[in-house]
Amino acid sequence: MAADTTNILIVGVGGQGTLLASRVLAQAAVAQGHDVKVSEIHGMAQRGGSVVSQVRYGPKIFSPIIKRGDADVIMAFEKLEAARYLPFLKKGGLMVINTDRIDPLPVMSGEVAYPEKLEEKIARVVPKTISLDATGIAAGCGTSRAANIVLVGLVGRALGFPLDALEEAVRGLVPQKVVDINIKALNAGWNYVDNDLISMVRD
Amino acid sequence: MKSLMIGNMAIARGAYEAGVTVAAAYPGTPSTEIVENISRFEGVYAEWSPNEKVALEVGFGASLGGARTLVAMKHVGVNVAADPLYTLSYTGVNGGLVLVSADDPGMHSSQNEQDNRGYGRFAKLLVIEPSDSQEALDFTREAFDLSEQYDTPVMLRVTTRLCHSQSLVQPGEKLDRPLKEYKKNEAKYVMLPGFARLRHLEVEKRMAALREYVEESPLNRIEWGDRNIGIITSGIPYQYVKEVMPEVSALKLGTVNPLPEKLIRSFASQVKKLYVVEELEPVIEEQLKAWGIEVTGKSVLPRTGEYSPELLEELLLGVPAPSGYQLDESIPARPPLLCPGCPHRGVFYVLKRKRLTVTGDIGCYTLGALKPLGAMDTTLCMGASIGAALGLEKARGPESARKTVAVIGDSTFVHSGITPLIDTVYNRGNTTVMILDNGTTAMTGHQDHPATGRTITEEETSRLDLEALARAVGVKRVRKVDPLRIGELEKALDEELSHDGPSVILATRPCALIDKSPKPSLYIDEDKCKGCKICIKLGCTGVYWVQEEKKARINPDLCQGCGLCIDVCKFDAVLERGAN
A83 and B331 in contact by Cβ < 8 A? yes
What gap in Å lies between CA B535 and CA B530, rounded to an integer? Answer: 11
Give the pairing of strands A71-76 and B477-481: unpaired
Can you spell out the DSSP letters for B330-390? PPPP----PPTT-THHHHHHHHHHTT-EEE--SSGGGGGGSTTT---SB--STTHHHHHHH
Q: Which of B155, B183, B215 corresponds to the end of one domain?
A: B215
Per-residue pLDDT band for A156 (boundaries 50, 70, 90) equals very high
Instruction: Say if residue A2's pLDDT is above 60.
Output: no
Per-residue pLDDT band for B371 (boundaries 50, 70, 90) equals confident
Q: Are residues B114 and B166 in the same domain?
A: yes
Total domains present in chain B: 4
Distances (CA, A) of B118 to B121, B220, B257, B306: 6, 19, 9, 17
B243 and A45 in contact by Cβ < 8 A? no
Q: What is the mean pLDDT of residues A33-52?
A: 83
B336 and A35 in contact by Cβ < 8 A? no
- CATH number, domain containing residue B528: 3.30.70.20
Instruction: Say if residue B436's pLDDT is above 90.
Output: yes
* In chain B, residues 456-515 whose CB comes closer than 8 Å to chain A: none
Taking the CA of residue A184 and the nearest CA in chain B, the distance in Å comes to 22
Q: What percent of chain A has pLDDT over 90?
A: 79
**What is the SS3 string spanning B228-292?**
EEEEEEEHHHHHHHHHHCCCEEEEEECEEECCCHHHHHHHHHCCCEEEEECCCCCHHHHHHHHCC
Q: What is the mean pLDDT of residues B411-438?
A: 98
Q: Are residues B424 and B496 in the same domain?
A: yes
Whether B210 is covered by a domain: the verdict is: yes
Q: Which residues of A touch B237 (CB under 8 A)?
A: none
Whole-number pLDDT of residue B386:
98
Per-residue pLDDT band for A203 (boundaries 50, 70, 90) equals low
Whether B387 is covered by a domain: the verdict is: yes
Whether B331 is covered by a domain: the verdict is: no
N-terminal to C-terminal alpha carbon distance within chain B: 61
Whole-number pLDDT of residue A41:
77
Q: Are residues B173 and B52 in the same domain?
A: yes
Q: Are residues B544 and B499 in the same domain?
A: no
Whether B328 is covered by a domain: the verdict is: no
Q: Are residues B309 and B357 in the same domain?
A: no
CB B345 within 8 A of CB B565: no
Whole-number pLDDT of residue B538:
94
Closest CB from B3, B132, B326 relative to A87: B326
Instruction: Say if residue B580's pLDDT is above 80.
Output: no
Taking the CA of residue B164 and the nearest CA in chain A, the distance in Å comes to 6
Whole-number pLDDT of residue B541:
86
- The pLDDT tens digits of the residues spanning B507-521 come to 999 999 999 899 999
Per-residue pLDDT band for A111 (boundaries 50, 70, 90) equals confident
Q: Are residues B14 and B50 in the same domain?
A: yes
Whether B329 is covered by a domain: the verdict is: no
Q: What is the mean pLDDT of residues B483-488?
A: 95
- CATH number, domain containing residue B366: 3.40.50.970
- The pLDDT tens digits of the residues spanning B152-207 come to 999 999 999 999 999 999 999 999 999 999 999 999 999 999 999 999 999 999 99
Instruction: Say if residue B469's pLDDT is above 90.
Output: yes
Q: What is the mean pLDDT of residues A107-127?
A: 92
B337 and A47 in contact by Cβ < 8 A? yes
Whole-number pLDDT of residue B321:
77
Mean of pLDDT over chain B: 96
For B29, counting Cβ atoms within 10 Å of its Cβ (0-12 exposed, 13-18 middle, 19+ buried), the class is buried
Whole-number pLDDT of residue A1:
43
| Least confident window among A73-87, B83-97, B411-425, B538-552 | B538-552
Q: Are residues B136 and B199 in the same domain?
A: yes
Closest CB from A35, A80, A122 relative to B332: A80
The fold for domain A6-202 equals Pyruvate-ferredoxin Oxidoreductase; domain 3 (3.40.920)
Q: Are residues B288 and B420 in the same domain?
A: no
Q: Are residues B264 and B359 in the same domain?
A: no
Whether B332 is covered by a domain: the verdict is: no
Whole-number pLDDT of residue A201:
72
Q: Are residues B9 and B76 in the same domain?
A: yes
Q: Are residues B37 and B174 in the same domain?
A: yes
A47 and B445 in contact by Cβ < 8 A? no
| Dihedral-angle region of residue A17 (phi above 0 means left; psi in -120 to 50 means alpha; beta otherwise) | left
Q: Which of B215, B231, B257 corresponds to the end of one domain?
A: B215
Closest CB from A49, A102, A115 relative to B335: A49
Q: Are residues B44 and B182 in the same domain?
A: yes
Q: Which residues contact B285 (CB under 8 A, 6 or more apart)?
A: B276, B278, B295, B297, B298
Q: Which of B197, B215, B233 corresponds to the end of one domain?
A: B215
| Least confident window among A42-51, A98-107, A162-171, B97-106 | A42-51
- Structural domain range at position B244: 221-317
SS3 content of chain B, % helix, strand, coil (to 5): 35, 20, 45
Instruction: Say if residue B422's pLDDT is above 50.
Output: yes
Instruction: Say if residue B44's pLDDT is above 80.
Output: yes
Q: Which residues of B touch A143 (CB under 8 A)?
A: none
Judge if the upstream peptide bond of residue B372 is cis by omega within 30 degrees of 0: yes
Mean of pLDDT over chain A: 92
Residue in B with minimal Cα distance to A41 = B164
